[in-house]
């Protein structure tokens, strides 16, 4: 990352991709016709071809060179080691040419990157299917805008004479313009929406126009909407929720894609339908009425930032005005800014109690060591089980001193008692058993 090659390529990619990203973002608009997309692609190509010159490269190279000198860790531009391509890739018998200076080497990279971008744009927009789509869409738009459409009409006559009656189509064009005279159509999608809203008798009057719309829809052309649908499917059915049924996935996909129609649904009717499907839901939720929830259809067009002020404070926030006689609903952030909710934490300092503080606070628990006062223990011993002598565990040499010190501490505290005999079990007349443990000398 500290080499000049990486620094040059990073800045070159940022500069060139800024043009292509701008084109990509513009083409992803939902209201974009094919002809407009072709013009935008040609405009981007012209910009790239304009900067593909020696003058533009020299200005860019000098700017990157000055920028690299401001970063001491970036190395100086150098020529790579000369490498000869395999003989099967060589054309002719002449000696291969190599750049003589670092500037010539980076000029070659500069031109190659721009050529790749221009060729990729041409390959995408100069396809036969795209040309067909553009001709048919431009024909309908030019008819509505009173422009010359003779070229597009001839294209339809040459390629779709079996699907269209050109004579009848010419007579339907005037009816088509009259039906959509008040519509502001900038792309094929706008025209399609208006045509779908027409009554059936009027649709029959422009039957060949509708046939052209059907041909455009079945044309094998991709769009950003189709790409976004795949992204939406991945978000709806993630890897962590891959057990979702196909029926539920289809329903969620329909709701996600048709947001405008979903927003117009009545939430009260949906809630009542949900409750009526189960007796337990009816018993728990009852039946909803319109005043139980705010419906999205009741939201007015008033939605803007307003200044709110009360006795305890003032703030500016987004305000939504809805129809109906409802109360005011404030978010926590707005209520806190107005001073209606006071929740302050000045200092959080954890205090760790010491050993002496614990002994002083709980002195009644620290009387005696390992003893339970006034409590008798009764041991139940099975006489039928023969006693078994177990060999004591040998203590490792490095642990013997620690074990000895621990035993001395327990003996001094009165917890254990030192004996020299072996393990002896005996029973007294008072049914009290005592066990003595002795450690064998090693």
Give the model confidence (pLDDT) of 98-113 as tens digits: 778 888 888 989 999 9
pLDDT tens, residue by residue, 314-356: 888 887 777 666 667 788 788 888 888 776 665 566 667 788 8
Contact 137, 216 (CB under 8 A): yes
pLDDT bracket for residue 81 (50, 70, 90): confident
pLDDT tens, residue by residue, 59-73: 998 998 888 888 888
**Are residues 136 and 180 located together in one domain of the fold?**
yes
Most confident by average pLDDT, 28-32, 238-242, 376-380? 376-380
**Are residues 144 and 72 located together in one domain of the fold?**
no
- Judged against a pLDDT cut of 60, whether residue 441 lies above it is answered with no
Instruction: Please give the average per-residue pLDDT across 35-42, as a whole number.
Output: 81
Instruction: Please give the average per-residue pLDDT across 146-168, as a whole number.
Output: 85
- Judged against a pLDDT cut of 50, whether residue 439 lies above it is answered with no
**Are residues 40 and 66 located together in one domain of the fold?**
yes
In a domain, 260, yes or no: yes
CA distance 99 to 86: 19
**End-to-end alpha-carbon separation of the chain, Å?**
68
Provide the 3-class DSSP secondary structure of residue 433.
strand
In a domain, 313, yes or no: no
Structure letter (DSSP) for residue 94: S
Contact 19, 114 (CB under 8 A): no
Domain boundaries, position 146 = 128-218
**Are residues 155 and 105 located together in one domain of the fold?**
no
**Are residues 104 and 156 located together in one domain of the fold?**
no
Run of H or E residues at 316: strand 313-322
In a domain, 225, yes or no: no
CA distance 337 to 317: 10
Contact 253, 233 (CB under 8 A): yes
pLDDT tens, residue by residue, 252-280: 888 877 777 888 888 888 888 988 888 88
Pairing, β 424-427 against β 313-322: unpaired
Structure letter (DSSP) for residue 241: G
Other CB atoms closer than 10 Å to residue 195's CB: what's the count?
20
**pTM of the full predicted structure?**
0.46
**Are residues 18 and 105 located together in one domain of the fold?**
yes
**Are residues 135 and 121 located together in one domain of the fold?**
no
Contact 349, 331 (CB under 8 A): no
In a domain, 86, yes or no: no
CA distance 434 to 426: 7
Percent of the chain with pLDDT over 90: 5
Q: How many structural domains are present in the chain?
A: 4
pLDDT bracket for residue 95 (50, 70, 90): low
- Phi and psi for 327 in degrees, rounded to 5? -80, 180
- Phi and psi for 20 in degrees, rounded to 5? -70, -35
CA distance 144 to 296: 36
In a domain, 354, yes or no: no
pLDDT tens, residue by residue, 192-225: 888 888 888 888 888 888 888 888 877 755 556 6
Q: Please, which residues have CB within 8 angstroms of residue 401's CB and are 6 or more apart in sequence?
A: none
In a domain, 344, yes or no: no
- Judged against a pLDDT cut of 70, whether residue 429 lies above it is answered with no
Q: Give per-residue burial for 207-236: e unless 16+ CB within 10 Å, then b.
A: ebbbebbebbeeeebeeeeeeeeeeeeeee
Which residues, listed in sequence order, are joined to residue 426 by a DSSP beta bridge?
A: 434
CA distance 224 to 204: 32
**Are residues 17 and 107 located together in one domain of the fold?**
yes
Rounded to 10 degrees, the C-alpha dihedral 187/190/193/199 comes to -100
**Are residues 164 and 249 located together in one domain of the fold?**
no
**Are residues 107 and 175 located together in one domain of the fold?**
no
Rg, the chain, Cα only:
43
pLDDT value, residue 114 = 93
**Are residues 156 and 108 located together in one domain of the fold?**
no
- Phi and psi for 424 in degrees, rounded to 5? -125, 130
Instruction: Please give the average per-residue pLDDT across 46-58, as a whole number.
Output: 90
- Judged against a pLDDT cut of 60, whether residue 428 lies above it is answered with no
Reading the block at residue 256, the tokens are 């996600």
Contact 15, 91 (CB under 8 A): no
**Are residues 41 and 68 located together in one domain of the fold?**
yes
In a domain, 329, yes or no: no
- Judged against a pLDDT cut of 80, whether residue 29 lies above it is answered with no
In a domain, 304, yes or no: no
């Amino acid at each position: 990352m500290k080499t000049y090659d990486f620094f040059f390529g990073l800045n070159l990619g940022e500069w060139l991709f800024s043009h292509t990203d701008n084109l990509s973002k513009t083409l992803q608009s939902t209201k974009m016709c094919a002809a407009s997309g072709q013009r935008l692609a040609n405009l981007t190509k012209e910009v790239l071809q304009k900067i593909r010159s020696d003058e533009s490269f020299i200005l860019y190279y000098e700017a990157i060179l000055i920028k690299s000198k401001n970063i001491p860790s970036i190395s100086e531009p150098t020529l790579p080691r000369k490498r000869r391509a395999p003989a099967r890739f060589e054309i002719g018998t002449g000696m291969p040419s190599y750049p003589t200076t670092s500037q010539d080497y980076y000029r070659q990279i500069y031109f190659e990157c721009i050529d790749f971008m221009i060729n990729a744009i041409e390959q995408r927009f100069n396809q036969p299917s795209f040309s067909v789509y553009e001709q048919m869409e431009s024909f309908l738009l030019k008819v509505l805008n009173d422009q010359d459409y003779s070229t597009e009409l001839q294209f339809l006559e040459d390629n779709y004479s079996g699907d269209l009656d050109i004579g009848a189509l010419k007579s339907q064009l005037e009816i088509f313009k009259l039906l959509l005279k008040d519509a502001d159509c900038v792309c094929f999608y706008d025209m399609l929406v208006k045509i779908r809203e027409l009554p059936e008798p009027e649709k029959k009057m422009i039957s060949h126009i509708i046939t052209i719309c059907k041909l455009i829809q079945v044309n094998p052309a991709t769009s950003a909407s189709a790409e976004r649908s795949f992204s939406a499917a991945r978000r709806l059915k993630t890897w962590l929720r891959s057990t979702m049924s196909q029926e539920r996935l289809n329903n969620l996909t329909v709701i996600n894609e048709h947001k405008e129609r979903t927003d117009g649904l009545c939430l009260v009717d949906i809630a009542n339908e949900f409750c009526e499907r189960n007796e337990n839901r009816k018993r728990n939720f009852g039946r909803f009425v319109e005043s139980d929830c705010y419906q999205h259809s009741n939201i007015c067009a008033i939605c803007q930032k307003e200044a709110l002020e009360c006795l305890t404070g003032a703030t500016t926030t987004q305000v939504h005005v809805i129809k109906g006689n409802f109360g005011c609903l404030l978010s926590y952030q707005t209520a806190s800014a107005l001073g209606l909710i006071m929740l302050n934490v000045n200092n959080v300092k954890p205090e760790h109690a010491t050993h002496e503080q614990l002994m002083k606070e709980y002195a009644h628990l620290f009387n005696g060591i390992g003893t339970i006062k006034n409590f008798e223990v009764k041991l139940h011993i099975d006489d039928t089980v023969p006693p078994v002598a177990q060999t004591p565990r040998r203590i490792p040499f490095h642990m013997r001193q620690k074990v000895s010190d621990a035993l001395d501490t327990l003996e001094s505290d009165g917890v254990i008692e030192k004996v020299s005999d072996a393990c002896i079990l005996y029973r007294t007349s008072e049914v009290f058993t005592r066990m003595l443990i002795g450690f064998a000398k090693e």
